[in-house]
A and B are shown apart, each in its own frame.
Chain A
Amino acid sequence: MKTTKKPSPLTTKYIVLAFLLVMAFFLSIGIGKYPISPQDIYRLLTGGDVSSLTQSVFYNLRIPRVFMSLIAGFGLSIAGSVYQTIFKNPLATPDLIGVSSGANLGAAIAITFFAGGTSAIAISAFIGGVIAVFTALGLTRLSAEKSITTFVLAGIVISSLAQGFIMLLKVFADPEHQLAAMEFWAMGSFASITRDKLISILPFVLIGLIGLLLLRWQINLLSLSDEEGRSLGIPVGLIRFFVVLFATLLVASIVSITGLISFIGLIAPHIGRMLTKRNDTHTLVLSGLVGALLLIISDSLARSLTASELPISILTTFIGAPYLGYLMIRLRQS
């Protein structure tokens, strides 16, 4: 008699997460200032009869927005997981080398000097994020010591400088419009996501994701000390450079159109490691799925909790900070 082979625990986790993600995705599509009922969603997907307004909201606003929250959650979590691995620090975030501060400065410059048009902000934020990271990498090359500490210090230098310039811009900004725009950008939002914006960043997101997934084995070995990594044949400096490059493309492209999103890149990898009890490619992918789920849920709440939309980082902070507190307690108990 044939016995059915049970799926492995890991496969079960993938299936459960994928199912939750699909459920969250379709639920999220219906939520917003213009709610779309499940019946209308079904009709939209099967070519049924739906009002043109519903169609417009669905295709031009809701689908791009929910897809973007999925992509942003997935991408930021993977970048966070990778950084926690290669910098051997479970508290590392995608902002470690300064990409977020650089993007923030880029956005602030666009708001102050280029009338704050959405395209100008996105392009400026992307360029700002990339320049910040390359400047940090350049700083590490000037240092005689090429260790993890050097990278972290360089990131702190660049982030601090960027924050200094942002503060300067805020001092001279018009308080009614520019200052408010800068503050809201820094809190993150999916409200202005459109299909065109999503498509414009997709190439960078894909390059970043594919690059990181292709280097997954090398990333795994970068969790060792540089000495051990080199003795096992890893060109540590080169791999670290490419990993930072791909992660930067991924994060910079996401935050250029969403603004800053806090905590997802920090907590999703922890949940991924809790689920897999290891730190490998499965952890990376599961972290991404967890991050996508968290962000879809957060964005759904952001759109529905109050009359006016809440910036996304408020939700992710109120989810992320208590979770970190819980981790601290678990750590103490273990």
Chain B
Amino acid sequence: MLEIKQLSVGYNGETIVENINFCTHSGKLTALLGLNGAGKTTLLKTISGLLSPLSGHCLVNGRDTLTLKDKERGKYLSYMPQRPSIIYHMPVEDVVLMGMTPYLGMFETPSKKHRKMAREMIHLVGMDSYTHDSFLHLSEGQKQLIIVARNLLQQASVMLFDEPDSALDFKNRHMILGKIKQLIKHQNRTGIITLHDPNDALYYCDQIIVVHNGSILTRFDTHSLDLNRLKEIFSIIYGKIDVIQHEQQYMIVRKPQ
């Protein structure tokens, strides 16, 4: 379980989002939605420990992870960046093995047992046939799947995803979001994902938190939605929109001019 209490985030002395309070549970994927510059990524990075909070707490299973050192925090929270930063050729298995690092001593290297665990994670994301291939030779979607596998190996109960679909085409976007949703549910992790597209959030996520004008505008469960309420919320941030229903799924569309 992840509990955010009175969290305020920002940098260079500026508060971006303040007084954030929410909680989310295992097996659930929560989306952070908002316009560019609203503070979604700042919030996510602060929860992940990459940015220092201005104030507040982030409790993972009762432990305030904001007070932990990076190594210890890596056992509670995993973070997936928008794009991986690997620049040298590296076998896929070795990339996934990096997820074991929070559990290794300073001078330790992964063992055969860890390699076996890494291969299990590669299997979970359906990338077995690429285990010994170079990471740099994969497509963008495949690379994101391997990073998900790496984050799974961290065995962190909270998994954070920073716009993992941003560089992907339509097909791969849905592939990666679908895979993340499935893994969060079946591996019983708590997931938080920043997204631009509200329709992806409505389709793949269990909870949506809307960040707007320096605070949390609202928070709602996607399984018990009211069309009018949705329209009211999303009109505030997206302007002239409409909400339509397609096969029991709500979708946000732009109103024609």
* B99-A232 in contact (CB<8A): yes
Residue in B50, B72, B89 whose CB lies within 8 Å of A227 = B50
Would you give the 0/1 interface string for A201-230, flagging 1 where the beta carbon is closer than 8 Å to chain B?
000000000000011111011011101101
CB distance from B81 to the nearest CB of A (A): 6
Would you give the 0/1 interface string for B28-66, flagging 1 where the beta carbon is closer than 8 Å to chain A?
000000000000000001001110000000000000000
Q: Bound complex: CA of A215 vs CA of B109, how far in Å? A: 9
Q: Is A235 an interface residue (CB 8 A)?
A: yes
Q: Is A322 an interface residue (CB 8 A)?
A: no
Q: Is B104 an interface residue (CB 8 A)?
A: yes
Counting residue pairs across A and B whose Cβ atoms lie within 8 Å, the total is 87
* B85-A224 in contact (CB<8A): yes
* B89-A273 in contact (CB<8A): yes
* A215-B88 in contact (CB<8A): no
Residue in B74, B85, B86, B150 whose CB lies within 8 Å of A233 = B74
Q: Of B90-98, B189-197, B231-239, B249-257, which stretch is located at the interface?
A: B90-98
Q: Which residues of B contact A220 (CB under 8 A)?
A: 94, 98
Interface size class, chain A: 20 to 34
Q: Bound complex: CA of A146 vs CA of B117, how far in Å? A: 34
Residue in A223, A224, A232 whose CB lies within 8 Å of B102 = A232
Would you give the 0/1 interface string for A224-253, flagging 1 where the beta carbon is closer than 8 Å to chain B?
110110111111100000000000000000
Q: Which residues of B contact A215 (CB under 8 A)?
A: 106-107
Q: Bound complex: CA of A231 vs CA of B81, how far in Å? A: 10
Q: Which residues of B contact A273 (CB under 8 A)?
A: 88-89
* A227-B75 in contact (CB<8A): no
Q: Which residues of B contact A230 (CB under 8 A)?
A: 49-50, 70
* B74-A232 in contact (CB<8A): yes
Q: Bound complex: CA of A228 vs CA of B86, how far in Å? A: 10
Q: Is B110 an interface residue (CB 8 A)?
A: yes
Query: Knowing A233-B70, A235-B69, A235-B70 touch, does A279 contact B90 (C-beta < 8 A)?
Result: yes
Q: Is B157 an interface residue (CB 8 A)?
A: no
Q: Bound complex: CA of A230 vs CA of B102, how far in Å? A: 10
Closest to B154 in A: A232
CB distance from A133 to the nearest CB of B (A): 21
Q: Bound complex: CA of A84 vs CA of B94, how far in Å? A: 18
Would you give the 0/1 interface string for A262-287, flagging 1 where the beta carbon is closer than 8 Å to chain B?
00000000000100011111000000
Q: Which residues of A contact B104 (CB under 8 A)?
A: 217
Q: Is B108 an interface residue (CB 8 A)?
A: yes
Q: Bound complex: CA of A227 vs CA of B147, how far in Å? A: 14
* A231-B48 in contact (CB<8A): yes
* A233-B50 in contact (CB<8A): no
Q: Is B79 an interface residue (CB 8 A)?
A: yes
Closest to A276 in B: B89
* A228-B48 in contact (CB<8A): no
Query: Knowing A215-B106, A217-B109, A279-B88 touch, does A227 contact B81 (C-beta < 8 A)?
Result: yes
CB distance from A331 to the nearest CB of B (A): 14
* A278-B74 in contact (CB<8A): no
Q: Is A43 an interface residue (CB 8 A)?
A: no
Q: Which residues of A contact B90 (CB under 8 A)?
A: 278-280
CB distance from B70 to the nearest CB of A (A): 5
* A225-B70 in contact (CB<8A): no
* B88-A278 in contact (CB<8A): yes
Q: Bound complex: CA of A228 vs CA of B48, how far in Å? A: 11
Query: Knowing A214-B107, A217-B108, A225-B81 touch, does A232 contact B101 (C-beta < 8 A)?
Result: yes
Q: Which residues of B contact A221 (CB under 8 A)?
A: 98, 101
Q: Is A85 an interface residue (CB 8 A)?
A: yes
* A277-B134 in contact (CB<8A): yes
Q: Which residues of A contact B86 (CB under 8 A)?
A: 223-224
Q: Is A88 an interface residue (CB 8 A)?
A: yes
Looking at B48, B89, B99, which has the most chain A CB atoms within 10 Å of its CB? B89
Q: Bound complex: CA of A234 vs CA of B94, how far in Å? A: 16
CB distance from B109 to the nearest CB of A (A): 5
* A223-B101 in contact (CB<8A): no
Chain A interfacial positions (CB closer than 8 Å to B): 85, 88, 90, 214-218, 220-221, 223-225, 227-228, 230-236, 273, 277-281
3 A-B pairs with least C-beta separation: A233-B74, A233-B102, A279-B88
Beyond the given A217-B101, A224-B86, could you list 20 further A-B residue pairs with CB under 8 A, ordered by the A residue number? A88-B87, A214-B106, A214-B107, A215-B106, A217-B108, A223-B86, A223-B87, A224-B85, A225-B81, A227-B50, A227-B81, A230-B50, A231-B49, A233-B75, A234-B70, A234-B101, A235-B71, A236-B70, A278-B88, A278-B89
What would be 15 A-B contacts, judged by CB atoms less than 8 Å apart? Answer: A216-B109, A217-B104, A217-B109, A217-B110, A224-B85, A225-B85, A227-B79, A230-B70, A231-B50, A231-B78, A232-B98, A273-B89, A277-B89, A278-B90, A278-B134
